[in-house]
């Protein structure tokens, strides 16, 4: 968003979202600055602040956009910022009247921040689009697999039964909250900036607020009544939302990696010839898209503290903190879009293995049903006593390598076993699913069915 575009970073270049890359390249950023200068001139002409002919020439020069990017970069290295050399190129290509009135009353940060708001809004729109596609794919999984029983794991160990649909519902609810956060962050970050050298708008004259209001409407941005030259909280919020979206993608990818291990075998990424292949181990089919998402999610999260640090800019203009945003925000946007695009690829080709999920329910002798047994006994012998006798039965199950059914019969008193009748029903994972179906319904309602029916079901 600074003008140089994103560097040639392998992760983003190879696996990133191409549309987002175009939104963030140097041409798109320069175009946003030119559009800002044009809107400023046109609004000022409407209000009689500059001659109409000067505004026309500025608009024509900005529309042509014939900017020498190498010269702009050289000028930026000299000045420290790109707007003065940008104006210089436009001025040299036009008449003295254009040069006299371009950039009237504005300062460099006004143009760059307004251009940033334009670019960031487009990135947010793309991220929102991808988020919707991912959420709809998750909604389909949640609904399809609402009754697909699997092992819930806590501390990476078997805990109690759940369903794959319930797991997906948790992901979906998180994305529903991200959708709300994204809309709020977009509204706060995508605002006009036009407050002049020291944030007072003195050079813009008595109609400064009217210029801002009309200019914001022309550019499709939010209005502003207080300078935000050094108030960067909205951009830090934007970075957090992008980082949080990436983190949720990373969580899903991590689950796919873990559950696709052959000894678990409950999920698998889409297959393909040489997809995830090893240079030396022919058997390999690594979860490469998931690995990409994990990497992107970690890098996206690292941009958040950078933007928090940029908030410390003091006085009325930053002295170095502002430059942090020039790289950190484009990275956060690119990584969030890339994480979403790759998550969509994962979900679109995800293989789900219900048979493996059912088989894994009994890999530890069926001790996954220990809590259900405990709460069946607890009303009769007390929760603590019930916990202890079932704990002992689970220990016997593991030591003797027998299932929980046999261990309970071997360790409980006949009276306690009678309290569990019929024992097979108590030990049936399908009988201990709690609110999983209601959770799926609630998550689907949180997201809303209409966007999926209209877009990506």
Q: Which are the catalytic amino acids? A: 155, 278
Residue with tokens 């991200």: 178
Q: How far is CA 446 from CA 135, 174, 296, 441, in A?
A: 11, 10, 27, 9
Instruction: Dig out the tokens for 292 from the structure.
Output: 């990409």
Provide the Cα torsion 402, 403, 406, 412; round to 10°. Answer: 100
Residue with tokens 């509204």: 187
- 151, 361 contact by CB (below 8 A): yes
Q: Is 248 helix (H, G, I), strand (E, B) or coil?
A: helix
Q: Which one, of 357, 388, 382, 356, lies nearest residue 370 by Cα? A: 388
Residue with tokens 């925000």: 329
Rounded to whole angstroms, the Cα distance separating 61 from 94 reads 7
- 294, 258 contact by CB (below 8 A): no
| DSSP string across 60-89 | HHHHH----HHHHHHHHHHHSSSHHHHHHH
Element holding 47 (H helix, E strand): none
Rounded to whole angstroms, the Cα distance separating 455 from 59 reads 38
Residue length of the chain = 457
Provide the Cα torsion 166, 170, 175, 177; round to 10°. Answer: 130
In the beta sheet, which residues pair with residue 161? Answer: 151
């Amino acid at each position: 968003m600074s003008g140089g575009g994103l560097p040639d970073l392998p992760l983003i270049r190879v696996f990133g979202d191409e549309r987002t890359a175009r939104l963030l390249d140097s041409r798109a950023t320069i175009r946003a600055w030119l559009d800002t200068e044009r809107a400023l001139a046109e609004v000022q002409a409407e209000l009689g602040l500059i001659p109409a002919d000067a505004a026309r020439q500025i608009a024509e020069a900005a529309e042509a956009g014939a900017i020498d990017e190498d010269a702009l970069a050289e000028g930026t290295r000299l000045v420290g910022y790109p707007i003065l050399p940008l104006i210089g190129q436009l001025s040299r290509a036009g008449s003295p009247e254009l040069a006299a009135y371009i950039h009237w009353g504005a300062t460099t940060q006004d143009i760059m921040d307004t251009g940033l708001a334009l670019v960031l809004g487009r990135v947010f729109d793309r991220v929102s689009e991808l988020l919707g596609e991912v959420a709809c794919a998750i909604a389909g999984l949640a609904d399809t697999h609402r009754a697909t029983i699997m092992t819930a794991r806590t501390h990476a160990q078997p805990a109690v039964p759940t369903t794959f649909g319930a797991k997906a519902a948790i992901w979906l609810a998180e994305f529903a909250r991200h959708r709300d956060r994204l809309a709020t962050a977009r509204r706060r970050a995508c605002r006009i900036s036009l407050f002049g050298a020291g944030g007072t708008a003195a050079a813009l004259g008595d109609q400064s607020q009217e210029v801002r209001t009309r200019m914001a409407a022309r550019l499709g941005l939010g209005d502003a009544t207080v300078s935000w030259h050094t108030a960067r909280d909205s951009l830090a919020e934007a970075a957090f939302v992008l980082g949080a979206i990436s983190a949720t993608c990373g969580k899903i990818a991590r689950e796919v990696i873990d559950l696709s291990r052959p000894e678990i075998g409950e999920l698998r990424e889409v297959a393909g010839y040489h997809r995830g292949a090893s240079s030396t181990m022919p058997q390999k089919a690594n979860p490469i898209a998931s690995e990409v998402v994990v990497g992107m999610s970690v890098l996206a999260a690292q941009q958040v503290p950078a933007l928090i640090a940029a908030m410390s800019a003091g006085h009325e203009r930053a002295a170095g903190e502002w430059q942090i945003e020039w790289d950190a925000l484009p990275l956060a946007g690119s990584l969030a879009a890339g994480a979403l695009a790759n998550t969509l690829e994962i979900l679109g080709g995800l293989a789900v293995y219900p048979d493996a999920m059912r088989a894994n329910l009994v890999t530890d002798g069926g001790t996954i049903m220990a809590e259900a047994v405990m709460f069946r006994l607890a009303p009769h012998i007390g929760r603590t006593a019930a916990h202890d006798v079932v704990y002992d039965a689970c220990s016997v199950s593991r030591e003797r390598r027998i299932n929980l059914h046999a261990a309970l019969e071997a360790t409980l008193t006949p009276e306690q076993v009678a309290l569990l009748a019929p024992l097979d029903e108590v030990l049936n994972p399908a009988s201990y699913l709690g609110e999983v179906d209601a959770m799926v319904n609630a998550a689907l309602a949180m997201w809303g069915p209409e966007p999926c029916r209209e877009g990506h079901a």
